[in-house]
Amino acid sequence: MRFARSGWHLALLLASVGLVSSGNGNGQGRRGGGERRRKLHRVQHGQCSYTFILPEMESCQGGSEQKSGTNVVQRDSPPADGEWPVQKLQHLESAMENNTQWLLKLENYIHQKTGMVHFQADAVHNQTATMLEIGTNLLTQTAEQTRKLNVVEAKVMNQTSKIAIQLLENSLSTNKLEKELLTQISEISKLQDKNSRLESKVLVLESKQRTELEDMREEKERLQDLVKRQTAAITALERQLRVASTNNSALQRQHQQLMKSVHTLIGMMSSGTGKNAHLQRNCFSSNEQHFRDCAEAYKSGHNTSGVYHIYIGDMTEPTKVFCDMVTSGGGWTVFQRRASGSVNFQKSWKDYKLGFGDPSGEHWLGNEAVHLITSQAQYSLRVELKDWEENGAYALYDKFQLAGEKQQYRYHLWSYSGTAGQQSSLASNGTGFSTRDADNDKCVCKCALMMTGGWWFDACGLSNLNGIFYTVGHNIRKLNGIKWHHFRGPSYSLQSTSMMIRPADF
């Protein structure tokens, strides 16, 4: 406020001095032609500039002298109360000087303020530049973060779309599963109804089966008694058979003696007529023929199937065998035959070695005889099969050989063919023969006891033609029956079988 009042006072004083100076200047202009110019003081403050007209002391003194000399003062405005005295002018000059000093101080202050303002402006400019740089960095970082956020957002959107698709697929699959579940539930309900009906039927069948089982137990007991009686009868028959065998051997010896006697008589009668000798030779020529197997008999003109006598190996006594002269060209020596169940095949090792049964019916020729025959030359094996539906099949092995007793009558087979399955049902080569009293199989169990009969079981195997004979209607689901796996399966008992051999080059 003090500066404001001084400023107003200064303005009034400057105006007064300006008026006086202008009057004096006019006078001097008239006299001196404007020799001097007015003194000005200009102050710049920001965008504003202040111009001050300073008083001229010399002009003021010249005026006073002129006044003292001529007593004439030119004024631009009329005086208020007479002429200004010199004291007032001096007072004004001192005031002007004071004001000038004040103005100088004010100018210095203004310059200081201006420097401070410039310094503050520079500081603000520096701060602004720093802030701009920081802002630029922040904007750059923000742009980078924004770009990364856009990438993340895009990935999130892709993942979200994938999840949405998966959810849609899951919902569809869930709907399908629900439909399938409903279908399964309905099927389960139907099956439960069927199961309940079947359970009722099973209960009825169980009651019937209990009755049948009781009847079967009674029948079993009766059969056991019958078996015991038959076993006793069979034992007695075996004793009679042994006696008959001994008698037969005696008869054979007598027959040989008779043959020697006949030969002697023939020699004695050889001196007779030629006609009688020729008739006698024709009469005895058929009795002198010795066949090693049925193939030789066939080649000798015997083409009718039946029982023949053959001489096996070095045996002096002939052996009765059944010769099949019809099947596949004939000449087959049959060593196993099953057709009626009349012969019990649950025999011992010795029985299977020597043979049992009747060659005209069910029989086993004997492992030793088969071994001796197949040791003479290379033989083929043919197995004839027939089920209870009268379906026939055969298995043919181009080469067959049976080892001796020391080798457990192991067989060797080559080149299978036939209609009894796409592959052989006989065990692999080198399988030993087993019976109830000679376990030579490859199973920890005794296959001959489980499967019954004597056979090349290996590990109980795929076949057993010497099992129990079951009649029709009782031949299903019989693991110990007469079976050939690749023909009718592992538990179907066949109607008839035969095993026969013939020279491979027949």
* CATH code (residue 302): 3.90.215.10
For 340-393, write each residue's pLDDT tens digit: 999 999 999 999 999 999 999 999 999 999 999 999 999 999 999 999 999 999
Judge whether 469 lies within some domain: yes
Give whichever of 8-12, 29-33, 106-110, 478-482 has the largest mean pLDDT. Answer: 478-482
Containing domain of residue 329, as a range? 294-503
Judge whether 127 lies within some domain: no
Domains: count for the chain:
1
CA separation (Å) from 193 to 37, 63, 187, 201, 430? 136, 147, 10, 12, 56
Residue 330 is which amino acid? Answer: G
Judge whether 301 lies within some domain: yes
Judge whether 207 lies within some domain: no
For 246-272, write each residue's pLDDT tens digit: 666 566 666 666 766 666 666 666 555
Higher pLDDT, residue 19 or 154: 154
Q: What's the rounded Cα separation, in Å, for the pair 102 and 191? A: 122
CA separation (Å) from 139 to 152, 154, 359? 19, 22, 115
Judge whether 272 lies within some domain: no
Torsion of CA 249, 255, 261, 262, to 10 degrees: -160
Judge whether 194 lies within some domain: no
Across the range 307-320, mean pLDDT stands at 90
Judge whether 424 lies within some domain: yes
Judge whether 314 lies within some domain: yes
Looking at residue 364, its pLDDT comes to 97
What is the residue-averaged pLDDT of the chain?
80
* Assigned token pair, 104: 């100088």
Looking at residue 253, its pLDDT comes to 63
Report the percent of the chain where pLDDT is more than 70. 75
Higher pLDDT, residue 302 or 50: 302
409 in helix, strand or coil?
coil
By the 8 A CB rule, do 346 and 436 touch?
A: yes
pTM over 0.75: no
> Around Cβ 26, how many Cβ atoms within 10 Å?
14
By the 8 A CB rule, do 500 and 395 touch?
A: no
By the 8 A CB rule, do 351 and 438 touch?
A: no
Looking at residue 254, its pLDDT comes to 64
Whether pLDDT at 227 is above 50: yes
> Around Cβ 83, how many Cβ atoms within 10 Å?
11
Torsion of CA 6, 8, 10, 16, to 10 degrees: -150
Closest to 459 in 3D by CA, of 438, 444, 481, 480? 444
Residue 118 is which amino acid? Answer: H
Looking at residue 2, its pLDDT comes to 44
Looking at residue 381, its pLDDT comes to 96
Kindly indicate the confidence band of residue 296, based on its pLDDT and cuts at 50, 70 and 90: very high
